Structure 1
């Protein structure tokens, strides 16, 4: 079992292609690449922490989750209404989480923090929201697809980048 992190997929959202200058000709092409790259790295028994902003339409989320490999946890973003959080297929839903993984304390939320619990004890802040455009602080990492090749990433990949 491998643990992955991602954020800001914005499935089905044509605005994200324009605003974030994503390299896709259409929403269908973007969604196809996001699903393909997700399933290429995530296996059925792997864990994925999605740090928010899943999809434009909450009604699409159950079918998307059924197509995506892994046990999926959601940390809600500003574009995740109650219907997204309530969709079947999430193992858990929260706004914030702290976990220990591979000798690291991870402080996770959709939003990047200026300071976080354990920051001065080497805890890492994983976030989305900024679409790769925010200059990170020490031990702070954007796990959003725009910053990570449009695919979920492991902690090892995050730290190595």
Structure 2
């Protein structure tokens, strides 16, 4: 896995107010999210996407956005993705996803409430955006949990190398800006 991100919510007008996103319109948000994504991710990079790509439940809309975003996706189903999307050709959907990197184990799921009671390693999730920063910050070493919602990542995917660097520091970070400022 090269990059991680969750909860783009493309085409979702209400998310701008709900998460206090810094965009004047849905069109501006969509354009900025795609541009920031493609500034970071190359076409062959592997991306673990934590769910809720678009508010639309139309498979054609989801596929259209995936064509605009660089990378090869492992896609966790989010609460806005709908089960109708499962089985689309060329897209691998998962309820959860496990992998190892640099001696660490990771268990990824869209909503942390859907994770098993005990996870061997770090729990990667989205779903909570930036709405409960005390409970669901970007990095919480005490809970061994990482919130991959784009609001906490500067609205761009996070490289696995950067994540490992943050985890090595064994510190709690509200968002990526805070983590970068602590260097």
TM-score range, shorter chain: 0.7 to 0.9
Q: Which runs of structure 2 are paired with 1:10-159 in the superposition (5 Å)?
A: 10-59=9-58, 60-90=61-91, 92-113=92-113, 115-118=117-120, 123-132=121-130, 133-134=132-133, 135-136=135-136, 137=140, 138=142, 139-159=144-164
Query: What is the DSSP-based 3-state SS (H/G/I as helix, E as strand, rest coil) of the residue aligned with 1:117?
Result: coil
* Cα separation, partners in 2 of 1:88 and 1:14, compared to 1, 3 Å: farther
Structure 1 residue runs of 4+, over 6 Å off?
none
Distance 2:52 2:97 in 1: 16
Q: Which consecutive unaligned segments of at least 5 residues does structure 1 have?
A: none
Q: CA deviation at 1:89?
A: 4.2
TM-score scaled by length of structure 1: 0.88
Cα drift, residue 86 of structure 1: 4.2
Report which structure shows greater RCO (CA 8 Å, sep ≥6). 1
TM-score normalised over the length of structure 2: 0.78
Superposed CA offset, 1:112-142 (max 9, x none): 2585321xxxx11110011032424422110
Distance in 1, Cα, partners of 2:90 & 2:30: 18
Alpha-carbon distance between aligned partners in 1 of 2:51 and 2:129, rounded to the nearest angstrom:
12
Question: CA separation in 1, counterparts of 2:153 and 2:79?
Answer: 20
